[in-house]
């Protein structure tokens, strides 16, 4: 009976190999046909991601999402393709932050420099809401078309912070927390009721820097004097004909009329083509040549595998997952350099140190690392970045926040309001140090203070060494203060302003790859669709885990994320607060 079962399994295995082999041979090859004269239709109304969702479960929930790199690669490929003659860009409220907007604007400008026609169409720039960044992206195009009756809510930037202190006091929760140093304002949400002087000073510093960038770029795009633009914004919002009269839009038109305008300008033989289809058929830039690894690190930094935060449906940067990816790139003999695309407000000290060590180790193994920052790479995000060979940021990236905070919420009174009491037996003097139902004892509080001092000193010292700055200079720009990428360049915290193209050229230079040699930008780990995963499981030397073990491997990242989220937030001590400004 045993021999029969073995033969049966072998026959099934052989049949599976034949089936999948035939499937690969006869599976229809995707078309590479692109008509001779096209313009691209690009819809950017949905939220832009930095990378595809990180796990099988997340991919099933979200499907294929639009990434910043997709947009940039499509525009850069189209810029050099004589078949592509123009771009019809449909914008909405899904751009993201300032750095993403600048990355896309730069790609549009490169596209236009090749003589391509560009029109931005928008139904409305906000609907009873601000729409600064969608308009910012649209302004990079040659023309802006606004639907009749649409609004132009070009209002300028505002920072607005939520303070939970009064609400927490009402339910009996107290934040027992401290920081290093005065500009580390994240704990203020739990300890203050308004901006402190230092909090306001720090916020004004980066907010006005962002608005100045925005104003100067828009004035240049729309060929307006800066004072004239400021006056228009001060009198906004506008609607319909009034928006047209200001000169901030070029035409009132519906979407089909914008398409007609594109055909009238480019000729009746030009055909529209969806930008995703074009990218699929024409291919990305940097597909062959010397290999540069591209690794994404997105979201709050936690220990473990990361995944998707089920409460906000946003990515979690798991140190273990990124560590495994770095190891793949380090061990791959074809990889000449590594680009780490980093977008993170920070998180766990330990996890940030883990990622910092990976960057150091990669460089020790002869693989230079270039960090390309997204919308935010601050606090623990900067801890990771500082070890890189070069750091690239957009002018509007938020970075720095070199500081730390820590502590815990005290919840015993809150339970008491519900008639619930707690008691404890501690077998050691400090066994209850991290209990949420009692305050720190004096010795425990002093130990926390010592830890904060040690972490802050370690952070500042490492920044000074990595950035080749003296300790006093770093101390002056640290203290938990957030800077824009433009400010960070002046302070020596980053090396260059730009996005993917700048990072790629710096990686080429660091790896000693000649300027004339082609490049292959390879994402690590390689994305895997359903068929790829199925084939990999069928052809693997060891069978893929099944039953409970297989279920656990698929769902473990999500479950670990949920568990991490329900730990007290105060323990994630290298965290910069959530994006608090209206763009």
Assess if residue 457 is contained within a domain: no
Q: What percent of the chain has pLDDT over 90?
A: 76
* pLDDT, position 2: 57
* pLDDT, position 545: 44
Which carries the bigger pLDDT value, residue 574 or residue 321? 321
The Cβ of residue 46 has, within 10 Å, a number of other Cβ atoms equal to 12
**Nearest Cα residue to 354 out of 282, 425, 305:** 305
- Please report the sign of the dihedral spanned by the C-alpha atoms of residue 238, residue 92, residue 277, residue 283: positive
Find the mean pLDDT for residues 392-397. Answer: 98
Assess if residue 506 is contained within a domain: yes
If one counts the domains in the chain, the total is 2
What's the chain's average pLDDT? 87
Final residue of a domain: which of 282, 309, 342? 282
**Which contacts qualify for 229-234: CB closer than 8 Å, 24 or more apart?**
232/154, 233/154, 233/155, 233/156
Assess if residue 358 is contained within a domain: yes
Q: What tokens appear for 4 in the block? A: 């029969």
Q: What is the dihedral of CA 292, 297, 303, 307, to 10 degrees?
A: -110
Verify that 55 and 84 share a domain, yes or no.
yes
Verify that 265 and 393 share a domain, yes or no.
no
Find the mean pLDDT for residues 301-315. Answer: 80
Verify that 386 and 256 share a domain, yes or no.
no
Verify that 250 and 393 share a domain, yes or no.
no
Verify that 338 and 263 share a domain, yes or no.
no
* pLDDT, position 477: 95
* pLDDT, position 161: 94
Domain that holds residue 259: 38-155+236-282
Assess if residue 4 is contained within a domain: no
pLDDT digits (tens, 9 = 90+) for 234-247: 999 999 899 999 99
Verify that 301 and 270 share a domain, yes or no.
no
367 band by pLDDT with thresholds 50, 70 and 90:
very high
CATH number at residue 526: 3.90.226.10
Find the mean pLDDT for residues 529-534. Answer: 48
Q: Look at the block and give the residue holding tokens 């002056």.
A: 476
* pLDDT, position 559: 45
Total-model pTM: 0.86
* pLDDT, position 93: 81
Distance CA 345, CA 177 (A): 19
Verify that 271 and 365 share a domain, yes or no.
no
Which carries the bigger pLDDT value, residue 132 or residue 308? 132
Assess if residue 583 is contained within a domain: no
Whether 402 and 352 have beta carbons less than 8 Å apart is answered as no
Maximum separation of any 2 CA atoms in the chain, in Å: 89
92 band by pLDDT with thresholds 50, 70 and 90:
confident
Question: Range with the lowest mean pLDDT among 3-17, 181-195, 285-299, 390-404?
Answer: 3-17
Verify that 248 and 385 share a domain, yes or no.
no
Verify that 96 and 135 share a domain, yes or no.
yes
Question: Range with the lowest mean pLDDT among 158-167, 197-206, 219-228, 574-583?
Answer: 574-583
Q: What percent of the chain is helix, strand and coil (3-state, nearest 5)?
A: 45, 20, 35
Verify that 61 and 141 share a domain, yes or no.
yes
Final residue of a domain: which of 282, 317, 337? 282
Assess if residue 22 is contained within a domain: no
pLDDT digits (tens, 9 = 90+) for 94-105: 788 999 999 999
Q: What percent of the chain has pLDDT over 70?
A: 83
* pLDDT, position 517: 95
pLDDT at 358 over 60: yes
* pLDDT, position 29: 56
Final residue of a domain: which of 226, 252, 282? 282
Assess if residue 476 is contained within a domain: no
Q: What is the dihedral of CA 550, 329, 521, 466, to 10 degrees?
A: 130
Q: What tokens appear for 528 in the block? A: 């895997």
Assess if residue 467 is contained within a domain: no
Q: Look at the block and give the residue holding tokens 């229809």.
A: 28
pLDDT digits (tens, 9 = 90+) for 36-91: 999 999 999 988 888 877 655 455 565 678 899 999 999 999 999 999 999 999 99
Verify that 264 and 353 share a domain, yes or no.
no
pLDDT digits (tens, 9 = 90+) for 416-463: 999 999 999 999 999 999 999 999 999 999 999 999 999 999 999 999
Verify that 252 and 399 share a domain, yes or no.
no
């Amino acid at each position: 009976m045993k021999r029969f079962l073995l033969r049966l399994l072998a026959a099934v295995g052989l049949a599976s190999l034949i089936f999948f082999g035939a499937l690969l041979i006869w599976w229809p090859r995707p078309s590479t046909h692109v008509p001779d004269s096209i313009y691209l239709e690009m819809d950017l109304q949905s939220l832009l991601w930095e990378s595809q969702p990180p796990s099988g479960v997340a991919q099933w929930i979200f499907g294929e999402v639009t990434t910043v790199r997709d947009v940039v690669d499509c525009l850069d490929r189209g810029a050099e393709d004589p078949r592509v003659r123009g771009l019809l860009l449909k914008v909405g409220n899904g751009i993201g932050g300032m750095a993403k907007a600048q990355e896309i604007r730069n790609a549009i400008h490169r596209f236009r420099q090749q003589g391509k026609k560009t029109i931005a169409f928008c139904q409305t720039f906000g609907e009873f809401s601000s729409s600064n960044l969608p308009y910012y992206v649209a302004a990079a195009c040659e023309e802006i078309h606004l639907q009749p009756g649409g609004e132009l809510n070009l209002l300028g930037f505002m920072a607005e912070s939520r303070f939970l202190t009064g609400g927490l006091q009402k339910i009996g929760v107290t934040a027992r927390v401290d920081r290093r140093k005065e500009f580390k304002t994240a704990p203020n949400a739990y300890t203050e009721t308004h901006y402190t002087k230092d909090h306001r000073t720090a916020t004004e510093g980066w907010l006005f820097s962002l608005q100045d960038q925005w104003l100067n770029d828009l004035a240049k795009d729309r060929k307006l004097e800066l004072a004239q633009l400021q006056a228009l914004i001060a009198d906004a919002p506008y609607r319909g004909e009034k928006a047209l009269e200001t000169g901030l839009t070029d035409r009132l038109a519906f979407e089909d009329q914008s398409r007609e305008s594109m055909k009238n300008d480019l000729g009746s033989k030009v055909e529209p083509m969806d930008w995703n289809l074009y990218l699929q058929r024409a291919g990305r830039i940097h597909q062959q040549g010397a290999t540069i690894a591209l690794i994404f690190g997105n979201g709050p930094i936690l220990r473990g595998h990361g995944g998707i935060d089920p409460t906000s449906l946003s990515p979690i940067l798991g140190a273990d997952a990124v560590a495994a990816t770095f190891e793949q790139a380090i061990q791959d003999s074809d990889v000449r350099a590594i680009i780490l695309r980093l977008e993170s407000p920070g998180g766990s000290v330990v996890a940030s140190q883990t990622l910092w060590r990976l960057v150091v180790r990669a460089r020790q193994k002869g693989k230079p690392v270039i960090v390309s920052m997204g919308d935010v790479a601050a606090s623990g995000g900067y801890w990771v970045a500082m070890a890189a060979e070069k750091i690239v940021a957009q002018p509007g990236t938020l970075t720095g926040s070199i500081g730390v905070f820590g502590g815990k919420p005290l919840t015993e009174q809150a339970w008491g309001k519900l008639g619930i009491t707690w008691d404890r037996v501690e077998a050691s003097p400090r066994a209850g140090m991290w209990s949420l139902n009692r305050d720190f004892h004096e010795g425990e509080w002093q130990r926390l203070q010592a830890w904060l001092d040690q972490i802050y000193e370690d952070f500042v010292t490492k920044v000074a060494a990595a950035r080749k700055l003296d300790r006093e200079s770093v101390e002056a720009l640290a203290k938990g203060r957030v800077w824009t990428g433009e400010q960070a360049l002046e302070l020596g915290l980053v090396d260059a302003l730009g996005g993917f193209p700048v990072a790629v050229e710096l990686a080429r230079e660091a790896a000693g790859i000649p300027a004339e040699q082609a490049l292959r930008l390879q994402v690590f780990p390689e994305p895997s669709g359903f068929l790829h995963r199925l084939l990999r499981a069928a052809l693997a030397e060891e069978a893929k885990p099944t039953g409970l073990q297989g279920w656990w491997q698929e769902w473990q990242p999500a479950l670990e994320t949920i568990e991490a989220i329900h730990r007290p937030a105060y323990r994630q001590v290298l965290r910069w607060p959530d994006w608090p400004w209206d763009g």
